[in-house]
Every structure is written in structure tokens, then in C-alpha cells.
Amino acid sequence: MLPTATHPSPSVDYAAVLAQIHEQVAHALGRGRVADYIPELARVDAQQFGMAVVRLDGSVFEVGQARTPFSIQSISKLFALIMALKSDGERLWARVGREPSGNAFNSLVQLEYERGRPRNPFINAGALVITDVLCQHFVVPEMAVVEFLRKLSGNASLSYDSSMAASEQGCSDRNAAMAHFMRSFGNLRNTVPEVIEAYCRQCAIEMSCVDLARAMTVLANHGAIPGSNKRVLDVSSAKRVNALMLTCGAYDASGDFAFRVGLPAKSGVGGGIVALIPGECGICVWSPPLEESGNSLVGSLALELLTTWSLNSIF
């Protein structure tokens, strides 16, 4: 049964909401297809499901395998973007756009007629430009992303999985093709192998739903780490990142995802989706099988249940 919330209430019983969602998605676990174009990703158990909410006051709510680390893949693009914005600010937008692509995340076609400037920082081509920016600023860019995520999540032991990174690097012809193409337009400053290596390692970072939901509280809190005076982004940059997630965070399915879920979110082919409710909480859901656009099928459903049924009283 779906929960019925009839009275607007600022304090939500997230433990009950998550338990209910867990029950409601149980029948769909395993539906969709686990990503197998990166061999190491195909080995994951398709039945796993976890979800976590971390409120701005630090309280944590979780269900299922919310403490199991998984490969964050494209979710890393969100945090790499924040880092590149911190270092390059407005200059970044000369190299990458901010429009939904309407194409697959690894599509090459648009790059040619848009002269090597990717549509947005979340498709693979855009993320490669962002990684190139990080290569300009950090000696070991993937470790800079790891350090940043350790700080945001409060988990000092997280890192990337070298076998996953090597597995992706071994089949990265398509990403390398995009990188070469952009380099031919002067939109890549480092060599293609340097950028691809850093990119594959950054995508292979492993985090749990609880780690990621906590990391997302900085964006729910308009760019400041909750409970500290530390600001990661100014308020308007945080607003822009959230807007990009809403419009481009679920690739070719972004419009439908925004219609169904209505939250700024970012997905990864490891089956994770991060999201946030501004002023309220960071969220992460994980279920490995994907729908055809590359977003977690059950993860999208869980978020839709959260916003369309459980939390409609606070929107």
C-alpha cells in the first residue's frame, strides 16, 4: 500500500518512508540490465538494493544494503564538476555547454557538428573535458577527487578500485575517440592517455549510499558543508549545479526522470543515483540493473515513490 500523507509536515518519518519504499520495490529487483560494457561491472549481484537519506542536521536513515560500497561511475562527474568550477569558474563554460544532449551518454555524433564542445559536463565527452581541467590543476587528479569525496562524505577510507579502473581502461576506445576528437579542436590540454587514466580511476571510486547521501548534503545546503563554516561552492554556483542535475543528470531520460522524480539527481552505470531536496537532505539509492538510458531502473522507481507518494506533503 502507498503511504498517504495528508498534512503538510516539515518533519518526515524517513525511517518509515524508506521501509515502505523497500517493500514496494521488492517485486522489481533484478529487472533491467546490469551494465556489462565494462567487464568488471557485469560481476555485480543484480538483486542488491540500498537507499539512504541524510538530513542537514546529520541524521541518517537507511534501508537494505545502504552501507555496501559500489562503483559510483558517472556520479563522480558531479563532484569533478564542482572541483573544476572551484578552480576555473566561468571560464569552464567556454569549453562545455549546459544543455541536455538528447543523445546517449557515450554518443559521438553531436561532438562533430558542435565542433568538439560537449553539450554538458555529465555526458562522457563533457566529463572528459572536466577531467582534463583537473589534470591541469592536480598532479594526481583522481586522488584529488577521492580526497574531496572523503571530506564531503566523512569517510576517510574510501578510494577507487584498481581492477575496475583497469577493466574500464582496457575497453575505453569510445571515450578515447571522443577525447582525441576534442583534442583536435583544442578542447583537451593534456594527452588522451593521461585524461583517460584519470577519468577511469575517478569513475571506479567506491562509495556506499550513506557515504553519497552525506556527500550530497553540501548541494542540499546551497554549497556549504552542513554543520561547519566550510563553503565548497557559492550559493549561485550550487544553484547552477543543481539545475544541471535536474536537466541533464539522467542523460537521454532526463526529461522523463524530472517529470517522475522532480529532484536534481545524477546517475551512474554502477546503478547508483544521487539526489537532493534543497534545504532538507541528500539522498542516494542503489540497484545495479539499468534501463535503456543507463539509469538504475529500480533506483528511479524508488525515487519516484519517494517524491510522488511519500513526500508529496512537503513539496
Residue of the chain from 294, 298, 300, 302 that contacts ligand DON (CB under 6 A):
294
Residue of the chain from 190, 267, 300, 310 that contacts ligand DON (CB under 6 A):
267
- Which residue out of 34, 145, 199, 287 is catalytically annotated? 199
Q: How far is the CB of 114 from ligand DON (least distance, A)?
A: 19
Q: Is 160 a catalytic residue?
A: no
Q: How far is the CB of 280 from ligand DON (least distance, A)?
A: 25
Determine the Cα–Cα distance for residues 143 and 3; give it in Å rounded to an integer: 43
Q: Which residues in 45-84 contact ligand DON (CB under 6 A)?
A: 73-74
In the bound state with ligand DON, the residue whose beta carbon lies nearer, of 145 and 203, is: 203
Q: Which residues in 200-239 contact ligand DON (CB under 6 A)?
A: 203
Determine the Cα–Cα distance for residues 215 and 271; give it in Å rounded to an integer: 17
DSSP string for residues in 46-89: TT--EEEEEETTS-EEEEESTTS-EE-TTHHHHHHHHHHHHHHG
CA atoms within 13 A on the CB side of 51: 29
- Which residue out of 12, 146, 172, 251 is catalytically annotated? 251
Q: Is 151 a catalytic residue?
A: no
Determine the Cα–Cα distance for residues 214 and 200; give it in Å rounded to an integer: 23
Q: Which one of 94-102, 185-193, 226-234, 267-275 is the stretch in contact with ligand DON (CB under 6 A)?
A: 267-275
Interaction of residue 168 with ligand DON, rule CB under 6 A: yes
Q: Which one of 6-14, 84-92, 180-188, 265-273 is the stretch in contact with ligand DON (CB under 6 A)?
A: 265-273
Q: Which residues in 110-129 contact ligand DON (CB under 6 A)?
A: 124
How many angstroms separate the first and last alpha carbons of the chain? 21
DSSP string for residues in 94-157: GTS--S--SS-TT--HHHHHTTT--S-TTSHHHHHHHHHHHHHH-SSHHHHHHHHHHHHHS-TT
Determine the Cα–Cα distance for residues 101 and 158; give it in Å rounded to an integer: 32
Contacts with ligand DON by CB under 6 A lie at: 73-74, 105-106, 124, 168, 175, 203, 267-269, 294
